[in-house]
Amino acid sequence: MRIVDTHLHLIYPDRFSYPWLATKPRLNWQPWTHEAYFAEAVPLGIETALHMEVDVAEADIMGETEFVLGLPRIAGAIAACRPEHMNFVDQIEQLSEHAHVKGVRRILHESPDDLSQSDLFIENIRHLPDYDLSFDLCLRDDQLYLGVALAQRAPDVTFILDHCGNPIPNGSGLDPWRASITEIAHNPNVVGKISGLVNHCDPGWTAETLRPYVEHMIEAFGWDRVLWGSDHPVATVTGGTLTDWVKATREIVSGASPDEQARLFHRNAERIYKI
C-alpha cells in the first residue's frame, strides 16, 4: 500500500532560523534532510510527501516554502502564516503564486488561546478558499474547543486537525480527549490527521499503545476524512523511528479493507490537499 506523507518536517539550520529548536536538544543536533528521510521512507512505501512548515522565524517563511518546493519527491507545502496580522491576505496572495502550496498553518498549541478567536483572525482565514488553501490546526487536547469555534465561524474553510488533537497516552489518556474529538469531527469541514501520537508516549510504545487513539479518530471522522502523516523527525524524540510508526499504523489498520487503507494512506491526501 503506497503512502503519501502529509506531515514531513525538514530542518536546515544552515539556511533558516528555528527559534523553538533551542529547547529541543534531541532535534537541534543535526540537519534533517530530504535525502536522509527518503532513504528510510521509500522502502516503507512512502512515495511522496507534503512538507509541513517548521515554525521558522517569520522572516524565513517564504524562503522555507520556496526551498522545500524545489526538492525531489516533495509534492507540495503547507506554509507558515500569520492570520493575526493585517497583511495576511497579501501573504497568502504571495504564497498562492506557487502552485504547489496546498495550505497554511499557524502554530496554536503554544500560543495564547485568544489568538485564534479574534475577529481579525477569523476574517483573514475566511479568505483561504479564495486561494484554494486549507488550514492545518495544531492544538493541544485541552484546546480542541478552539478548533470547534474556528470550524463553525469559517465553515467554508477546510481545516486539518494535526496529530489527532495531541492526546497524551501517558498522561491524561483517552478521556476527555475522546469526547472532544467526537465534537470537532461533527463539523464536516474538519479532517483528522493521524500523526504525532508517539510524541506524547513514553519510550517503548507499541502499536497497542496507539490503537485506541487511531481507532477513535477513524470512528469519529470516518474513512473519508482521515489522513496519515509521519511528523518526522519530531516523532523520533521518544526513541522511535519512522519505520516504527509506519509499521505500527499498518498493524493497527490491518483489519480494514484495501479500499479503506488506501483512503487513509494516499487517496484522501490526494483529494483534500489536491496533489
CATH value at residue 109: 3.20.20.140
Burial of 131 (0-12, 13-18, 19+ CB in 10 A): middle
Helix segments in 76-143, DSSP class H = 88-96, 119-125
Burial of 79 (0-12, 13-18, 19+ CB in 10 A): buried
pLDDT band at 157 (very low <50, low <70, confident <90, very high): very high
pLDDT computed for residue 136 by the predictor = 98
pLDDT above 80 (res 26): no
Domain count, the chain: 1
pLDDT computed for residue 59 by the predictor = 95
Distance CA 273, CA 275 (A): 6
pLDDT computed for residue 172 by the predictor = 79
pLDDT above 90 (res 158): yes
Rounded to whole angstroms, the maximal C-alpha distance in the chain is 49
Strand order through the sheet with 46-52: 3-8, 46-52, 74-80, 101-105, 134-137, 159-161, 190-194, 226-228
- % of the chain surpassing 90 pLDDT: 91
Q: Residue 123 CB: number of other CB atoms within 10 A? A: 14
CA of 178: how far to CAs of 114, 149, 238, 250, in Å? 23, 18, 23, 22
Which structural domain, as residue segments, surrounds residue 263?
3-272
pLDDT computed for residue 74 by the predictor = 98
